[in-house]
Structure 1
Amino acid sequence: MICIECGRPVNDVYKEFGKAGSGNIRLTRCSCCQQIADKYVEYDFIIVFLDLFLHKAQAYRHLLFNRQPYRDFGIPIQYVKVLIVYIFFESYIKWLRFKEYGQHQPGVPFYYIDWHDDVPYDRYWFIFLTAIAEFGMYISSIIVAVRFIYQSRYPIIKYNYLVMAIILSSFGKGFLVLMMIWDYPFSFGSILNIFVLSSNVVAIKVFLDTSTFKAIIFVAFGFLGRLFFQSIIYLFDGSMLLHLNL
């Protein structure tokens, strides 16, 4: 566990009095900064979520280090489930973009278009698989950049926590469901993408305990890696240009 204010390790974030489960607790203070080690222990999750939305580092420290047991490797199954939901939402919006604009783009191969019916659903699964690969390339590029820069500083880097930080800070992708309910312009997806990238910067900064500038470099490297992958896909399938930058 760590202090969410200064990031220093602490033995515990609260002490419980009376019988176990009685709810009689007292929050402990950090010996380094003398602040409450983790104020979110007494807060509802909605407050934590609002602080995530506001890019507060304390909320990320609470969820990454104090909310769940320590793991030497692997990521919790709930993170995997959330990531799958994110990718489904993103893929569906990209498919809608292809469906709406694909027939009007001269670069779209004619054999992908049914001129009388909707765009085939098998295109959705192709887009879904490329979305998985894009996210994998994004994470891999960030890991490579972190390993290159911090290999000499940290003898062991918990890359599973780095992946969890990226997944956690990508919660903005969940707002894509609004585009499935209401008629938002596709530019709304691009705005959400910018929000997600900025959240990734905060999460990586918190996990690595580094500067904002270096965190931006890592995210930019990941974005360039994803863009490079998208460019390769476009070389083989010009229709994919319709959703490259979502």
Structure 2
Amino acid sequence: MLRSSVNNKQSCPIPKKVRFSNPLLMCVNNDRKISYVCINCGAEIEELHKKYSSSVLKIMSCETCKQVADKYIEFEPIIILIDLVLLSQPAFRHVMYNTKFKIYAKILVVQLLFESYYVWIDAPKPFDVGEFASEKEFYFSFLLTSLDYILLVLMLQLWTKATNGSSHDLSTIHFVKAMTLAKVAKFFMIPLVIWSSNASDSASLRLLLVNGYYFLSVTQVLSILTNSSRRSSAFMTLVTIIVKHIVIVELNQRLRNVVMI
């Protein structure tokens, strides 16, 4: 029994001082991820802390950068949330790699519904539109918002695979989780919904600020996910958003003629 466990460990050696090109590509032993990542440099580590007793807990240091591997394990969630709002790379790494954060699907559904609602109420409507037609318009907005998100995930994944090859062969679920975390920035559109009745030129400025913050959020998460520079991630994000917008505009025209009959 002891010999088999030793063989399992030797079949997947992990050098302690090696910085992995992709923190998500972790060695798997018996279907279990055995490593975390340092929130400062992204290097893979075997454990975040050692528990000596019920009251004594020692936080481990990263052997690559010599800093505390994950300071956020002692922080309150509100502090982590504030750092996420400030687009802190260590905070994003903590949530993406070192926590059991399992409500991505719920957050994604809420995000898509809210963004669809904003698109729906912001779209111009004729005065004689019926209740059924208005409800159908909302479902159509949800369809376009969902397609927009799917295109974002797939385009970034394909681009990453094409430019970096198998070294960043991440699955779709990795990009879904990362982009869902970045899309939390869209919740800043809530004030736009509240103040939508106040017609002013500042409304477009507020929307521009929200979209700009969303762009920075996607750039930051993509940089962490692919372990690339912020400049290259920003370029990839910008081109992807532009191409995605062109595709969505074209799909809007074509699908409206089919669905909204």
Query: Do the two structures share a fold, i.e. TM-score over 0.5?
Result: yes
User: How do 1:10-49 and structure 2 match up within 5 A?
Assistant: 10-18=45-53, 22-49=54-81
Query: For the residues of structure 1 that align with 2:241 and 2:52, how far apart are their CA atoms?
Result: 49
8 Å Cα contact 1:145-1:221 kept in structure 2: no
Provide the residue aligned with 1:190 in structure 2: 208
Distance across 1 between alignment mates of 2:217 and 2:132:
36
Bigger RCO (CA 8 Å, 6+ sep) = 1
**Equivalence for 1:88:** 113
Q: How many residues align?
A: 217
1:4 to 26, 36, 39: 39
Q: Which moved more, 1:162-171 or 1:185-194?
A: 185-194
Paired residue for 1:68, among 89, 100, 115?
100
Q: SS at the partner of 1:7? A: coil
Cα offset, 1:23, TM superposition: 4.9
The 1:211–1:223 alpha-carbon spacing in structure 2 relative to 1, beyond 3 Å, is same
TM-score (norm 2): 0.75
Cα-to-partner distance string for 1:25-68 (whole Å, 9 max, x where unaligned)? 12111111111100000011111111111121101110111112
Q: Which runs of 5+ in 1 are unaligned?
A: 70-75, 104-112, 240-246
Where do 1:198-209 residues align within 5 Å?
198-209=216-227
Q: How does 1:30-179 map to 2 (within 5 A)?
A: 30-68=62-100, 76=102, 78-98=103-123, 101-103=124-126, 114=128, 120-154=134-168, 156-179=169-192
Q: Counterpart of 2:188 in structure 1: which amino acid?
A: F
Poorly superposed stretches of 4+, deviation over 3 Å: 115-119, 179-184, 234-239
Identity of aligned residues (%): 22
Show the counterpart of 1:227: 245
| Largest Rg, 1 or 2 | 2
Select which of 212, 215, 230 maps to 1:212.
230
Q: Distance in 1 between matches of 2:204 and 2:119?
A: 9
Q: Distance in 2 between matches of 1:55 and 1:14?
A: 25
Contact 2:59 2:68 in 1 (8 A): yes
Give the C-alpha shift of residue 117 in structure 1. 7.6
How has the CA–CA distance of structure 1 residues 138 and 95 changed in structure 2, closer, same or farther, with 3 Å as cutoff?
A: same
CA distance in 1, matches of 2:193, 2:45: 44
The CA distance in 2 between the partners of 1:117 and 1:80, in whole Å, is 30
Match of 2:207, as an amino acid?
G
Higher mean C-alpha deviation, range 115-124 or range 199-208: 115-124
- Would you say the 8 A contact 1:64–1:161 is kept in 2? no
Q: CA shift at 1:196, angstroms? A: 1.0
Over 3 Å counting, the alpha-carbon distance change for 1:159 and 1:230 in structure 2 is closer
CA separation of 1:117 and 1:235: change in aligned 2, threshold 3 A = closer
Deviations 1:100-151 (Å, cap 9, x if unpaired)?
A: x334xxxxxxxxx626889722111111111101111111111111111011
